[in-house]
Amino acid sequence: MTTADDGGAAALVNVAIDGPVAEIGLDNAPLNLMTRPMLRALNAAIGEIRARDDIRCVILHGGNARAFCAGSDVREFDALRTGASEHKILVEDMMLRNLSRLPMPSIAAIDAPALGGGLELALACDLRVLRRGVSIGLPESRIGGLAGSGSLRLTRLIGPSRAKEMLFTGETISSEQALAWGVVNRVVDGPALDGARALAATIVSRAPMSHRLAKQLVDSAFDVPLDAGLSMANAAQQKIFDGSDLHEGVAAFLAKRPPAFTGR
């Protein structure tokens, strides 16, 4: 396993590479608050990983902090009164968009509460693994705030009625409720990071080109008309047949051996 840490603002985020899996660890204890330096450091880490063809899965976790991420540092808000868009809102939006647009699958490993912007961070990942007994929520309305991107991503994930309940009440939900509502994919009894690593191991054993194209299609499903989406699916299928992974997979299946996918 190799690690990357450039010091300064980047010290707020640690990146570890273990073969085809990259782990991004938040390191702003005790609560991993989403400060402006944290936003910049996280966006830089995402950009570095995005450019690497050898990475097949990304895990985002909260390290040893008391929270996966407890959201924004409200102590910054007064200074942002007249420049929130320039100095925070658009910076955070860019980071979350870049996270959601990683070409490879991403997993949020939630071992401690994910609140407000912390849950929005997890929602920008493709999958979420939650430790049993850990609560999550969007409590912004309690202090007069708003979960901007979270309102949209949560609604697409679990539907408007349940999303509105979480947003309007500002209450946290239990791990069991989060699983039942579909906010998270898995609830595990041990560390969520271990659960995420096990899930990542399964993901990276499959064909990476298939994953990247499937992610593009799923993410486009809400944004384009069905006919346009089906045309995109046809083009993606052609890329699969033009590449080598499908033919390697078929050969391995017939030979009863593990496939050696290259992502090409």
Quick one: pLDDT band at residue 223, thresholds 50, 70, 90? very high
What residues are labeled active site? 120, 140
CATH 3.90.226.10 maps onto the chain at 2-204
Taking the domain 208-255, which CATH number applies?
1.10.12
The pTM score is 0.94
pLDDT, averaged across the chain = 94
Residue 50 CB-half CA count within 13 A: 14
CATH 1.10.12 maps onto the chain at 208-255
Average pLDDT on 74-95 reads 88
Query: Is the pLDDT reported for residue 218 higher than 50?
Result: yes
Taking the domain 2-204, which CATH number applies?
3.90.226.10
Taken in order 28, 30, 32, 33, the sign of the CA dihedral is negative
Q: Cα 28 from chain centroid?
A: 18
**Cβ-based burial of 26 (10 A; exposed 0-12, middle 13-18, buried ≥19):** buried
Average pLDDT on 2-31 reads 81
Q: Whose CA is closest to 110, among 80, 78, 68?
A: 68
